[in-house]
Structure 1
Amino acid sequence: MLVELKSGETLNGHLINCDAWMNLTLKEVVQTNSDGTRFFRLPECYVRGNNIKYLRVPDDVLEIAREKNQQQREESRQNRNGGPNHGGRGGYNNRGYNNSNTQRGGGGYNRGGGRGMSGGRGGGQNQYRGSAGRGGRTGGY
């Protein structure tokens, strides 16, 4: 990828890492000064995000990133909808212990939260006895 800095220098290299502040780590870098007259080879380079003017990424790399992003969205959507190991909404280890239509939430195992059958906030399953939240019902298994 090509990175142009605010100073006018350019860096061409392979992107290794990028963080939330757009700090970049590049490998096998060719640095060009702002005049375009001097070139330097660097094995690795760290660029602080606030010094970047613009980035140019090849189209084929962008297409690969789009495909991976779409794949991750589909996987997370499957996990949220009750995949085989994650238990979706109202699953055993997720929001509610009981997955029936009569109880909305009630917290997971050892967690409070959600609404119990009486309309108030129900407590979570606390080991083998339910603990009452505000207006919730108490009782064990």
Structure 2
Amino acid sequence: MVTKAATDPSAGTARSWAGRGNAFDPDCPTRVVLDRVGDKWTALVIGALSGGVLRFSELRAAIGGVAPKVLTQTLRALERDGLVTRTVHAQVPPRVDYELTDLGRSLGGPLATLTDWAETHVGQILAARERAEAAADHA
């Protein structure tokens, strides 16, 4: 006999994450956090700031390829979510520093693990993608 737990990834999730919610439930607030963490710019900003305080231009250079508007939006969202602090120094011209909060630093480890996994398996992913595209071209 096949049980629901064997066929449904959401089965039993509420029990295994007791007190934390059920991310497989579309109404679970955990999804808001997963959306933030799953954003590629979030992962790159957290990674760049894990080395310490950076100014906007330093952060943009460290990440590479991010438009100023997108970086600004990402930083605002991370600040709103309590992952990053923004400090404005009263000088001319004004200097703005960005730094991870304790909560933001706690996200660094899991994101570093995910980044390591991605770097380890990127070759396999790209090869699978090429095979799928070649198969679609011949179909």
Could you state the TM-score of these two structures normalised by the residue count of structure 1?
0.28
Higher RCO structure, 1 or 2 (CA under 8 Å, sep 6+): 2
Larger helix proportion of the pair: 2
TM-score (norm 2): 0.28
Whose Rg is larger? Answer: 1
Higher strand share: 1
